Amino acid sequence: MTLADQPKVAAEPVFTLENKTALVTGAGRGIGKAIARRLAAAGARVMINDLDEAMLRESEAEFAATERVQHVCGDLTDPSTPEAVVQATLTAFGSIDIIVNNAGYSWDNVIQKTTDEQFLAMLEIHLVTPFRLLRAASTFIRESAKREIAAGQRVMRKVVNITSIAGIDGNPGQAGYSSGKAGVIGLTKTLAKEWGRYNVNVNAVGFGLVQTRLVQDLNAAGAGMEMHGHHIRLGVQPSLLESVKTACPLGRLGTPEEAAGAVLFFCSPLSDYVTGEVLICGGGLHF
C-alpha cells in the first residue's frame, strides 16, 4: 500500500482550552494582549489585568467572545492588589487554571545613575509581583488539586512567568530589569518543585526584542509612561535596533503574536510533562 492509498484520517484540533480559566497580567496592550487573545481563541475564559482601565476596556471590547473575557484593573505593585485580582477571577469564573505573569516595564540607566527606588521598582514589578500573585492563588490551587487527586483525577494547571534574554545574558543599563528577570527564573524553578505534586506545570518564557513600546524609537513623541509620579522614558535608539537586527539570526524583531505563541505552548496540554523550564523566544539573539 502506498501513502496515497492509505485511508484519510480527519484532522482534529491539537488541543482546546475550553472549561479552563486564565489570568493574564499586563494584558492591556502588546504581548499581554496577544497572549489573552490566543488563550481566548483556544477556548479559555480569560481575566485580563492592567494598570490602565481605558486600555483594558478597549482590549476587552476587541475580543469576539466578550462573555468569556473580563477585566480587573489594578496596580500589581500595591501589596493588596494581587490577592484582589485572584479573588476577582475566582468570583467571575469560579476557577484559575492558567496564570501568566506578564506585567512589567523597563526603567533603565547605568548603575552609577540608578537610584535605590529605580532598582527596587524593577524587582517589585518583575519578581515580587509574580511571587505575590502566585502566593495569593496557592490556596485555591492546593485545595483544588487535593480534591481532584482524591477523586482519582489528574487536572493539570499552568503557570507561565515572563523573563527575558536580559535576565539570562545581562544587558548594559539594565541592572534592575535584568536582576528582576533573572530572579523570576529562580522563582519558576522553585515553584515547579513545590507544585509538581499539585499537577501544576511552572515554566518561563524569555523574550528577546519584540515589537512593543519598550523597543520603540526612544526619540518618538509619547515614548514614555507615568509610574508612581515618575515619567519613565521607554524605547531604544534607532541605531541600536538596526544593530540588533543584524546580530539576530532571524534578522528582525519578533511580533507580539509570535511571543504569545511560545506562551500558548506552556498553557496547553502539549506541555503537560514539561516543568521548571525556560523557553527563549528571541529569534536566536543573545546580548
3-state helix, strand, coil in the chain (%, to 5): 45, 20, 35
For the CA atoms of 160, 260, 104, 68, the dihedral, rounded to the nearest 10 degrees, stands at -80
Distances, alpha carbon 74 to alpha carbons 179, 226, 245, in Å: 24, 15, 35
Calpha distance 16→49 (Å, rounded): 23
Residue of 105, 177, 198, 273 marked catalytic: 177
* Residue 234 to residue 114: CA distance in whole angstroms: 16
- Has 105 been annotated as catalytic? no
d(CA 281, CA 257): 11
Instruction: Decide if 130 contacts 82 (C-beta within 8 A).
Output: no
In terms of Cβ atoms closer than 10 Å to its own Cβ (0-12, 13-18, 19+), residue 41 is middle
DSSP 182-201: HHHHHHHHHHHHHHGGGTEE
Q: Which of 156, 178, 157 is nearest to 169 (CA)?
A: 178
Active site residues: 177
